[in-house]
């Protein structure tokens, strides 16, 4: 966690993906069609306290949200729902802090919080993507 905080001093964004070095930042997979995953993900995100859904773009599978931190900074978050196959979807998250300073790891924590919430809600469908 200390290393993550040091990285956060310099960096003001964080993103997930298949090639992420940090296992906690790897894409999350669910055994659901893109349409079903989209419904589940959007309804779950709308209920998360402290987050505000700004835009939903079902055609590309993107949900744009914002979160205000205790220090008053705004974080812009994009959650992507990607169809891997007709019965498998991936979810990736990009989080960026507005302003020029690093985020002290807050984007990293936001991503983990969103993934924890989705994994809890979609526990029956969670898979490693294979």
Domains of the chain (ranges, CATH numbers): 2-127 (3.30.310.220)
91 and 28 Cβ atoms separated by less than 8 Å: yes
Tell me how far apart the alpha carbons of residues 43 and 23 are, in angstroms, rounded to a whole number: 26
pLDDT digits (tens, 9 = 90+) for 86-115: 999 999 999 998 876 666 778 999 999 999
Question: How many other C-beta atoms lie within 10 A of the C-beta of residue 97?
Answer: 24
pLDDT, position 113: 97
Rg (CA), the chain: 14
State what percent of residues in the chain have pLDDT above 90: 72
> Sorting pLDDT into bands at 50, 70 and 90, what band is 2?
very low
Alpha carbons 122 and 76: distance in angstroms, whole number: 24
């Amino acid at each position: 966690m200390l290393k993550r905080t040091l990285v956060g001093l310099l960096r003001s964004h964080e993103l997930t993906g298949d090639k992420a070095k940090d296992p906690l930042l790897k894409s999350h997979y669910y055994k659901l069609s893109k349409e079903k995953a989209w419904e589940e993900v959007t309804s779950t995100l709308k209920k998360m306290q402290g987050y505000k859904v700004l835009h939903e773009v079902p055609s590309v599978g993107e949900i744009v949200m914002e979160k205000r931190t205790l220090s008053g900074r705004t974080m812009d978050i994009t959650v992507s729902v990607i169809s891997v196959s007709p019965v498998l979807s991936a979810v990736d998250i990009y989080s960026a802090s507005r302003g020029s300073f690093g985020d002290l790891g807050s984007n990293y924590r936001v991503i983990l919080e969103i993934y924890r919430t989705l994994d809890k809600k979609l526990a029956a469908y969670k898979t490693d993507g294979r």
